[in-house]
Structure 1
Amino acid sequence: MAVIGFLVARISGKKIKRIVYLVRSFQEGNFYKRIGFAGNDEFVYIANSFNQMATSIQDLIQNVYEQGIQKKQGELDVLQAQISPHFLYNTLSTIGSLANLGEVEKVTQMVQGLSKFYRLTLNEGHVYISLEKELEQVRMYLEIQRVKYADAFEVYYDIDPDILQVPIIKLILQPFVENIFKHAWFGETIAIRITGKRLGERIELKVIDNGIGMRADTLRNMRSSSFHSSSYGLRNVEERIKLRYGNDFGIHIGSYFGAGTTVQIILPVDNAEIREVMGE
């Protein structure tokens, strides 16, 4: 077992270093580099996902310069944000540490989760995704975090089954869940609740936590037009929602310091552009 653990750690360590090098190149704006692994393991899926995302970003950059389309710029921003998120570096570091300790099962679990997370993020280049798949991506993110945090957090889902197949723009839930880990956590545990229901011709999604919450002045700043990068991922998601659906839709945030935060996302059930894109 010691020999097997050493071999797994060595092989995994080399692949992780190559992935980290590629991610750093992307962070520096170099999307021309690619990575390839031999075999058919989860590292191959991760490498292929990164290669496809880099190609997608190059295509989006070309479209932005040639056509000047704000919607494409918004999608470019979210893909760049997901290629180098804070949790990715922590995840790769955790995988490396587990590999060195010979925790083969946990390494496999985290690599599989990371691979599936990025496959869902890529979504074959499509802007729209079913709510069911959006929730699946959130679950993959939380499963990755669960290896790190063990039983330090609980997640509850309350989703109306009738809206699971409603197409929505991708990556509107996960950024808020991620920011719970980055900004809301205090104490030893935290609870997260994700809800979804239909309100007439709209759907309402909520991401609720019982974390530290925000003071009134911080909440006022977030509700103003001068967003900051640390505003629970509000700016990017809010802009993309309004670009795709119009100003009648978007995000509302309620928070009490010491009691938690609720993010409400309002989206249309039906949209002419969605029907056109989905071929309906």
Structure 2
Amino acid sequence: YLTKDAGRLQRVIFTVCGISFIGMAFIGYIVARLSGRKMKRIVWLVRSFQEGNFQKRIRFSGNDEFVHIADAFNVMAANIQGLINSVYVQGIQKKQAELEALQAQINPHFLYNTLSTISSLANLGETAKVTEMVQGLSRFYRLTLNQGNVFTPLENELMQVETYLDIQRVKYAGAFSVHFDVDPELLQVQVMKLILQPFVENTFKHAWFGESIAIVIKGKRQGDNLELKVIDNGIGMRPETVQRLLIGPSQSGGYGVKNVDERIKLRYGDKYGIRIASIYGGGTTVQIVLPVSPGELPAME
């Protein structure tokens, strides 16, 4: 009788232990699965942070350690994103201020020189030439202001160069010639204003020697970029002079290669800007490379 009861008790004990083991294993599996899911989401969030995406957040229900870890990550991401936005906004404001400062150097320079010429012509009694130059100056600054916009169609930029040349024709008559070779399909492409006229003006100021000078202005597509060139047959420059123009500081009270190059690089990045090829005694070519939105470029054949 005792042996029979002991065997029954043994079977009951084994059954209870087996059921308990299965129950505990099932509970452990459920807990591990839920914890694994939370851990995967935390790892996913960390990887997002590594990729620079601080906008993602995770939320867990309950009050366990994973909830505290997730809350700490969310607070850290919000702080980092706020710092990045602050630095980004400050960078944009700095660039805008630099652009405005560089732009401000351009406008007074040409105005001063032209008004000086107008004053001289008025003293000589050349009223017709004074009227022509004043009208040209008015058109030039209307295009310069461009209703406050930084960008303008290439057609307007070329028109501004033409207006500048009209003013110079009053002074120099037929002593110079200018030829435009610009792809008509590019005329409506948006470019930064005042990127061609400064180089044409530099040709008159620094490149002209002898009795006449010829200038060629070209515009064509170069891959996904726009390439503009101002070519003259003037006196040219030595290599060290070209290097100094490209890396030297902008001159106060005036503008030039460095000024325009800075404006382009501040707006588009260091891979764009100005390149100069010049031979002393053989002329100068200024190349301006700008990015263009794909929709603005004509389809390549």
TM-score range, shorter chain: 0.5 to 0.7
Of the candidates 252, 258, 265, which is equivalent to residue 281 of structure 2? 258
Task: Report if aligned partners of 1:179, 1:232 keep a CA contact under 8 Å in 2.
Answer: no
**Distance of 2:269 and 2:103 partners within structure 1:** 21
- Residue number in structure 2 paired with 1:229: 251
Aligned residue pairs total: 206
When normalised by structure 2's length, the TM-score is 0.63
Of the candidates 135, 149, 156, which is equivalent to residue 126 of structure 1? 149
**Larger Rg belongs to:** 2
Of the candidates 211, 217, 224, which is equivalent to residue 188 of structure 1? 211
What is the correspondence of 1:174-253 to structure 2 with a 5 Å cutoff? 174-223=197-246, 225-227=247-249, 229=251, 233-253=256-276
More deviation, 96-105/227-236: 227-236
- Residue number in structure 2 paired with 1:91: 114
What is the correspondence of 1:1-280 to structure 2 with a 5 Å cutoff? 69-85=93-109, 87-223=110-246, 225-227=247-249, 229=251, 233-270=256-293
When normalised by structure 1's length, the TM-score is 0.67
Shift in Å at residue 122 of structure 1?
0.8
Shift in Å at residue 217 of structure 1?
2.0
Shift in Å at residue 116 of structure 1?
0.7
Instruction: Give the residue type in structure 2 aligned to 1:82.
Output: I
- Residue number in structure 2 paired with 1:56: none
Instruction: Give the residue type in structure 2 aligned to 1:249.
Output: Y
- Residue number in structure 1 paired with 2:80: none
Shift in Å at residue 271 of structure 1?
7.6
Q: 1:236 to 1:70 in 2, by over 3 A?
A: farther
**Distance of 1:78 and 1:259 partners within structure 2:** 31
Structure number with the bigger relative contact order (C-alpha 8 A, sep ≥ 6) is 1
**Distance of 1:164 and 1:110 partners within structure 2:** 26
Structure 2, gaps ≥5 residues long: 1-88, 297-301
Instruction: Give the residue type in structure 1 aligned to 2:152.
Output: I
Instruction: Give the residue type in structure 2 aligned to 1:208.
Output: I
Task: Report if aligned partners of 1:71, 1:240 keep a CA contact under 8 Å in 2.
Answer: no
**Percentage of matched positions with identical amino acids:** 62
Structure 1, gaps ≥5 residues long: 1-65, 275-280
- Residue number in structure 2 paired with 1:10: none
Q: What is the SS of the residue equivalent to 1:206?
A: strand
CA offset digits 1:123-175 (Å, max 9, x no partner)? 11111111000111111111111101111111110000011000011111111
CA offset digits 1:154-206 (Å, max 9, x no partner)? 11100000110000111111111111111111111111110000112111000
**Distance of 1:246 and 1:130 partners within structure 2:** 20
Answer 1 or 2: which has greater helix percent.
2
CA offset digits 1:48-77 (Å, max 9, x no partner)? xxxxxxxxxxxxxxxxxx966233223323
Q: What is the SS of the residue equivalent to 2:248?
A: coil
More deviation, 228-237/205-214: 228-237
Q: What is the SS of the residue equivalent to 1:212?
A: coil
CA offset digits 1:228-266 (Å, max 9, x no partner)? 539971212111111211222111100000011100001
What RMSD, in angstroms, separates the aligned Cα atoms of the two structures?
2.4
Q: What is the SS of the residue equivalent to 2:156?
A: helix
**Distance of 2:255 and 2:278 partners within structure 1:** 12
**Distance of 1:142 and 1:78 partners within structure 2:** 23
Task: Report if aligned partners of 1:74, 1:239 keep a CA contact under 8 Å in 2.
Answer: no
**Distance of 1:125 and 1:228 partners within structure 2:** 24
Shift in Å at residue 227 of structure 1?
4.1
